Amino acid sequence: MSLQDFLSTLDGLEEEASAAFETACDADTLEAARVRFLGQKSGALRDVQKRMGSIDKADRKTAGMRLNQFKSNVQEALENAKTRLGGDDSTGADPTFDPSLPGRRPSIGHIHPVTQTMTHLMEIMGRMGFEAAEGPEVEDPWHNFVALNIPEDHPARDPLDNFYLATAATGTNDRNVEGSQLLRSQTSTVQIRVMEDKQPPIRVISLGRVYRPDAPDATHFPMFHQMEGLLVDKNVTMANLKTVLRVFATNYLGDDVEIRFRPSFFPFTEPSVEVDFFWNGSWVEFGGAGMVDPAVFEAVGYDPEVYSGFAFGLGVERLCMRRHGITDIRDLYSGDLRFLQQF
């Protein structure tokens, strides 16, 4: 092919393509024109490019420059056409584009009601000077039982009431082997971890997950959350405990809450109580509490003659459910957004 022929072919093609782009009345027509002239597989440009090889070596440079110019001109015409069609409805833009439609709202995450509750509880306790403390969910028997004065033969250590883990180290979930581990069954483990770490005065709360192999029903779930509180100092009394819990309850549920202690037993507190709140016409048990047992102080190396303290453990789901009128704990963990988005 001679250079002359090549150049005039390009001239003609450029005119044709620009005209086709300029007169395209909608996105589909424009796209069809683009494929016809610039398409990778069988477009006109491709055919011309193929013929470059047959041009005299001496003329190839001129041919190449013209080809580049062609490409950029045609590309520009195409871009102009796109802008024209996209920008102005009246010239026949894509009929499926309706600028009057409301935008699509991106779906953004939502904080789970139990997490919201924990943030709220932490805030209330923070105002009373309690700092947040944390402990692991996979625990050893020392922190979950032994240091909490729960002896070897205590029913709370039964495999039917705990998730003992088979680990690489033990190779078994037998609770009696050295190095056995379990999912913590209570946040009281964090009391031990805090006291092993620091000296009094101590004023902490710990919010987190605990695990017990209960069959799920309206009030039980194998994983739930507790708020543990621990205060250790000189001359701490049960009256301090009751005041802290009353202030907490009135802040969380409202001024009309009443609080009631019922005698109970926990190996790590003496005396021990069950904590009930009266609100909206009924008494509900929210957890346990008591004065830290001297045996626990001894386990962490505190002198029980010098220090005293109280501890409490409340059910987070119960607080959340009571405040929001939720009647089935399973709803909280169903993953059903229609339920969760209400909070």
User: What is the contact surface with ligand PHE in residues (CB under 6 A)?
Assistant: 186, 188, 266, 269, 287-290, 311-313
Largest CA distance in the chain: 109
β-sheet bridge partners, residue 264: 272
Distances (CA, A) of 16 to 11, 37, 76, 177, 251: 9, 9, 14, 86, 78
Instruction: Please choose, from the candidates 142, 154, 177, the residue with its C-alpha nearest in 3D space to the C-alpha of residue 265.
Output: 154
Taking the least distance from each CB to ligand PHE, the nearer of 162 and 186 is 186
18 versus 187: smaller Cβ distance to ligand PHE: 187
Alpha-carbon separation of residue 4 from 16, 46, 52, 55, 64 (angstroms): 18, 18, 12, 10, 13
Q: Cβ closer to ligand PHE: 46 or 260?
A: 260
Cβ proximity to ligand PHE: between 117 and 186 the closer is 186
Residue closer to ligand PHE by CB (options 17, 230) is 230
Tokens linked to 288: 């346990």
The total of other beta-carbon atoms located within 10 Å of residue 278's CB is 15
| Ramachandran area for residue 153 (φ above 0: left; ψ -120 to 50: alpha; else beta) | alpha
Nearest approach, Cβ of residue 230 and ligand PHE (Å): 8
Side-chain half-sphere of 331: how many Cα atoms within 13 Å? 17
The DSSP output letter for 217 is B
User: Least distance from C-beta 182 to ligand PHE, angstroms?
Assistant: 14
Minimum distance, C-beta of residue 287 to ligand PHE, in the bound complex (Å): 6
| Residues β-bridged to residue 225 | 209
Nearer to ligand PHE, 18 or 186 (CB): 186
CA proximity to 201, closest of 228, 235, 232, 229: 232
Nearer residue to ligand PHE within complex by CB, 34 or 203: 203
Q: By Cβ distance, which residue is nearest to ligand PHE?
A: 313
Nearest approach in angstroms of CB 148 to ligand PHE is 8
- Separation between Cα atoms, residue 14 and residue 27, nearest integer Å: 20
Provide the minimum distance between the beta carbon of 189 and ligand PHE in the complex, in angstroms, as a whole number: 9
Closest separation in Å from C-beta 247 to ligand PHE: 18
Provide the minimum distance between the beta carbon of 291 and ligand PHE in the complex, in angstroms, as a whole number. 9
